[in-house]
Structure 1
Amino acid sequence: MKRPIGVIDSGVGGLTVARELMRQLPKEAFLYLGDTQRCPYGPRSEQEVRAFTWQMVNYLLRKNIKMLIVACNTATAYTLQELQENLDIPVIGVIEPGARAAIKVSQNKRIGVIGTEGTIQSKAYPRALQSIDENIRINDLACPPFVPMVEDGMLSGPEAEGIVARTLQPLKNMNHIDTLILGCTHYPLIKGLVQNEMGNHIQVISSGEETAREASLILSYQGLLNQSEEDPVHEFYTTGNMEKFRSVANSWFDQPVQVLKRIRLDHVQSSAI
């Protein structure tokens, strides 16, 4: 089936998931929409996040997508069940895949989670982890500076290192975790900084690989895989600064990313249709 797969995020962070999706599903076309104008979602209310998420979803539904990937952890925490109940296409979030990936590698069942304020307050990761193994112990930490840092393209250098060190200090004082979940899809863009600060004895997990694996399984099971031999054409949209989006995207992808256009979502339906 040649219909595209939609990927939504609060900004550029979901590109980390999109890249893994493209690697594992090379025949599929993807439509990526990043709401960089209203990023970050973490400090926003649940009502705002739900409204903004539905605006992105309804925009992509007009383009006849066959699957939706919610690549924003905050949006996943607040809207995934609602989206799954209201849409007639498969909808995948990033929290449960991330939890499964962490449990696979943890040796002592002590797992740390870093994310936005909204994701951490929602307790979505503790629920997901303990629904798989009730003996998992979790230390979580909100990291508000990280998303603005990534959106501004500050991915390395002394200033970025300082921000990461100061932000992660409380987590470093929580002893014995052996695995750390990057509970925001922006964070893999600074994974090296996080790994250096936490130490190589900590397994740092992002959800992209597991999310892509789940998408592949669902598409195959439902007979939705694209069997065409034509090269797929990907489309990228943003609500904010196109050049800033393109700069971060090009630093993450192996080939130049063409951002088709900046779009407005304020006129799009902000609830289920």
Structure 2
Amino acid sequence: MQANAPIGVIDSGVGGLTVAKEIMRLLPHEKLIYIGDNARCPYGPRPQAEVRKYTWQMARALMGKNIKLLVIACNTATAATLDSLQKQLPIPVIGVIFPGARAAMKASHDSQIAVLGTEGTVKSGAYEHALKSLKSSCQITQLACPKFVPLVESDEYEGEFARNMVRETLAPLKAEAFDTVILGCTHYPLLQRFIEKEVGPSVTVLSSAAETAKDVENHLRFQHMLAETGHKPVHKFYTSGSMAIFRSIIEKWLAIEHPDVRQIKFL
């Protein structure tokens, strides 16, 4: 495997672009190949067996492109598939749940943490397990936000409609005590400013993206697999859904002009 081989990033849709953005910022010489399974998004309400099947399809597609490391930039897919991918693939595989939990424990003053996630992530208990492994006495409040992913996928995450949906969804948190919120879905950072307004200025709202990017850097550095300095990467983006919406979000969120966007189909 060559050091200049690409990093693979997979997600149920556009949410993983928040992780890709942090990897690109931290490791500007690395080439990314991204697959968003927009056609079958959201993964949150799906059975775990189905999520595992779809995640493996994306992983196999990227293995065929000779990636050197795989990032599961989807919390639902991480909860369902991380262990099997790590055991069976010959390359490092990094998920987003433990980095998110680690970032929250660093940020929290009172170990009172709220987790916003998909139905699948919340039901899996993966964040609760990760947080408790770091501090067994931490207090955890979890809230499923099933409307958030379709909102982001439809490119409607910036207006008044999005603001009102966030307010309505987070209403149950008004009665809970917490000082830190984990955005336990990689789509949710695109709604972060609305979420921050609802929980108030005394609460830290964070995603797993930056911590996941640090894990990617650490793995590659340890294995002496960082891309050469001066290497100018051209990233590739694949979607199983609408190329127009996918391209629009890439252009806005990653500030890439004329991104290389391609269609991918799974049998």
Q: TM-score, normalised by structure 2?
A: 0.98
Q: Partner amino acid for 2:220?
A: L
Report how far residue 132 of structure 1 moved: 0.7
After superposition, the C-alpha distances for 1:75-104 in whole angstroms (9 at most, x for unaligned) are 000000100000110000000000000000
Cα distance in structure 1, aligned partners of 2:258 and 2:51: 27
The separation in 2 between residues aligned to 1:63 and 1:157, in whole angstroms, is 38
One-letter identity of the residue aligned with 2:120: G
- State how many pairs are aligned: 265
Separation in structure 1 between the aligned mates of residue 231 and residue 220 of structure 2, nearest angstrom: 18
The equivalences for 1:217-236 within 5 A come to: 217-236=218-237
How far the C-alpha of 1:256 sits from its partner, in A, is 2.1
Query: Match for residue 102 of structure 1?
Result: 104
Aligned AA (1:69) = V
What is the CA distance between 1:255 and its match in structure 2?
2.5
Q: CA deviation at 1:265?
A: 1.1
2:53 to 40, 51, 54: 51
- After the TM superposition, list the runs of 4 or more consecutive aligned residues in structure 1 that deviate by more than 6 angstroms: none
Q: Of 85, 88, 91, which residue of structure 2 is paired with 1:86? A: 88
Is contact 2:247-2:261 (8 Å) kept?
Answer: no
User: How far does residue 228 in structure 1 lie from its aligned partner after superposition?
Assistant: 4.8
In the alignment, is residue 213 of structure 1 matched against residue 214 of structure 2?
A: yes
The CA deviation string for residues 76-135 of structure 1, in whole angstroms up to 9 with x for no partner, is 000001000001100000000000000001001100000000000000000000001101
Secondary structure of 2:38 counterpart: coil
Which aligned pairs between 1:42-191 and structure 2 lie closer than 5 A? Answer: 42-174=44-176, 176-191=177-192
Say if 2:206 is the partner of 1:194: no
- Measure, in 1, the Cα distance between the counterparts of 2:168 and 2:158: 15
- Structure 2: distance between partners of 1:169 and 1:259: 40
* CA-based RMSD: 0.9
Does the aligned pair in 1 maintain the 2:183–2:189 contact within 8 Å?
yes
In 1, the alpha carbon distance for the partners of 2:160 and 2:142 equals 25
Identity of aligned residues (%): 52
**Contact 2:235/2:260 (8 A) holds in 1:** no
Give 1:31's match in structure 2, choosing from 24, 33, 39: 33
Instruction: Give the secondary-structure state (helix, strand or coil) at the position aligned to 2:40.
Output: coil
| 1:270 paired residue number | none
What SS does the corresponding residue of 1:153 show, helix, strand or coil? coil
SS of equivalent residue, structure 1 residue 37: helix
Task: Give the conservation status (yes or no) of the 8 Å contact 1:181–1:206.
Answer: yes
Deviations 1:152-194 (CA, angstroms, capped at 9, x unpaired): 11112221111101100012221x2000000000000110011
Whether the aligned pair in 2 keeps the contact of 1:249 and 1:257 (CA below 8 Å) is no
1:240 counterpart residue number: 241
Aligned residue identity for 1:195: E
Q: 1:18 aligns with which of 17, 20, 28?
A: 20
* Partners of 2:139 and 2:23 in 1: CA distance: 30
